[in-house]
């Protein structure tokens, strides 16, 4: 069993930056593929960024060049550095951990980009 706790969300002006963190409990964190997803009001949840156990990263097109995902296996934590934020980045951001058919989700953290 893995529990995921996100933090770092908040209100930021367009062009600003935020850093989200996702702390995982349990063992064997390093074997999990980790990801960040987001869900805006009235829209489906979408993948934002992912990083596998080997460190390979992948990004959704809308965030390429602006967001960076990273992980610290010693701290059981995955991060999402978000720069040049836009109003359309406003959403609840969820952390995800996956291994084969097993998947866990965090409770989400709100990110609001507005002037």
pLDDT in tens, 37-59: 999 999 999 999 999 999 999 99
Q: How many CB atoms lie within 10 A of CB 100?
A: 8
Q: How far apart are CA 113 and CA 14, in angstroms?
A: 6
Q: How far apart are CA 97 and CA 99, in angstroms?
A: 7
Quick one: average pLDDT of 27-32? 86
Q: How far apart are CA 25 and CA 23, in angstroms?
A: 7
- Per the document, the length of the chain is 115
Quick one: average pLDDT of 95-108? 94
Task: Please give the radius of gyration of the chain, using alpha carbons only, rounded to the nearest integer.
Answer: 13
pLDDT of residue 1: 83
pLDDT of residue 28: 85
Quick one: average pLDDT of 65-76? 96
pLDDT of residue 30: 87
Q: How far apart are CA 11 and CA 31, in angstroms?
A: 33
| Region of residue 28 (phi > 0: left; psi between -120 and 50: alpha; otherwise: beta) | left
């Amino acid at each position: 069993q893995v529990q995921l706790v996100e933090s770092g969300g908040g209100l930021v002006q367009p062009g600003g930056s935020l850093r989200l963190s996702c702390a995982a409990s349990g063992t064997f964190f390093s074997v999990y593929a980790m990801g960040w997803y987001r869900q805006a009001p009235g829209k489906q949840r979408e993948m934002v960024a992912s990083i596998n156990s080997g460190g390979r990263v992948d990004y959704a097109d809308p965030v390429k060049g602006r967001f960076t995902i990273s992980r610290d296996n010693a701290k059981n934590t995955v991060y999402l550095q978000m720069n040049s934020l836009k109003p359309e980045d406003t959403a609840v951001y969820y952390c995800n951990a996956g291994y084969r058919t097993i998947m866990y989700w965090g409770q989400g953290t709100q990110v609001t980009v507005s002037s």
